[in-house]
Amino acid sequence: MSRITHLLIASTMAIATAYRNTADGAKEDTKNAADASSDAAANVGGSMDAAAETADVKMALMADATVDASDINVNTNRDSKTVTLNSSVKSEAQKARAEVVAKTKAPDYTVVNNLIVR
């Protein structure tokens, strides 16, 4: 796939994710999508990698039947190669599973699990 196609897919996924999140999560996702788009314009290669990782992790979380990913925000920092999971889940099992899914989908990234069990 071309880098432009990847950028369009990643931007679409970021926007779709924003609609699924809470109002605060949507604001954060929108800001992250804007930041990712700005970075992509300046440095297409690196931003595409980070945006692709974010989209891959979020899609994998949403596809996992054992994790309610509707409120999980996924943030990726390309410079530090870090994927951060933010928000809340309903159980320790979901928190642990979300981390495993993220590590599996982004094996070259460090995963920071900031999920709170509520």
pLDDT band for 25, please (50, 70, 90 cuts): low
**Type of residue numbered 71:** D
Q: Can you tell me the distance from the alpha carbon of 103 to that of 57, in angstroms, rounded to the nearest whole number? A: 9
Q: Is residue 10 pLDDT above 90, yes or no?
A: no
Q: Which residues contact 46 (CB under 8 A, 6 or more apart)?
A: 39, 78, 79
Six token digits for residue 83:
């994927």
Summary mean pLDDT of the chain: 82
* Mode of pairing for the β-strands spanning 82-86 and 73-77: antiparallel
Q: Can you tell me the distance from the alpha carbon of 27 to that of 58, in angstroms, rounded to the nearest whole number? A: 17
Six token digits for residue 29:
């996702």
Q: Can you tell me the distance from the alpha carbon of 44 to that of 49, in angstroms, rounded to the nearest whole number? A: 9
Q: What is the pLDDT of residue 84?
A: 98
Q: Is residue 31 pLDDT above 90, yes or no?
A: no
Residue 115 is given by DSSP the state -
Reported as type and span, the H/E element at residue 59 is helix 44-63
14 or 51: which carries more pLDDT confidence? 51
Instruction: Tell me the domain boundaries of the chain.
Output: 3-117
pLDDT band for 19, please (50, 70, 90 cuts): low
